[in-house]
Amino acid sequence: MLALVPSALWARPSHTLSFSGRVVGIHYQQPSIDVRVGAKTLEVTVTPNTSIQRSGGFATLASLRLGDRVEVLAARSGKRLVAQSISAH
């Protein structure tokens, strides 16, 4: 079970947050992923500037799979979370 440490959500300046969870949805047209963090599901927008890595190498949104464990660094943009980096395991 994944635990979310509340202080970790907003501990970084400029509304940047870091969290980990499991990919439960992948949306190629938007593009975004849904990440299950504890009891919550967060939608994270993926942009061309998002750095995506898988097992230490560079990857793309298409490389992500449902069930992947991910670590996400994201910034708040209005009500959206925009991924700066995604690391999949």
Look at the chain and report how many structural domains it folds into: 1
The per-residue DSSP string of the chain comes to -----HHHHS-SSTTEEEEEEEEEEEETTTTEEEEEETTEEEEEE--TT-EEEETTEE--GGG--TT-EEEEEEEEETTEEEEEEEEE-
Over residues 40-63, the pLDDT tens digits come to 999 999 999 999 999 889 999 999
- Where in the sequence is the domain holding 10, given as residue range(s)? 6-88
Average pLDDT over residues 11-37: 89
The pTM for the full model equals: 0.82
Average pLDDT over residues 53-79: 95
Average pLDDT over residues 21-44: 97
Q: What is the CATH number of the domain that holds 12?
A: 2.40.50.320
User: Is residue 19 in a domain?
Assistant: yes
Please report which confidence band the pLDDT of residue 14 belongs to, taking 50, 70 and 90 as the band edges. low
Does the structure show a pLDDT above 50 at 8? Answer: no
User: Is residue 54 in a domain?
Assistant: yes
User: Is residue 1 in a domain?
Assistant: no
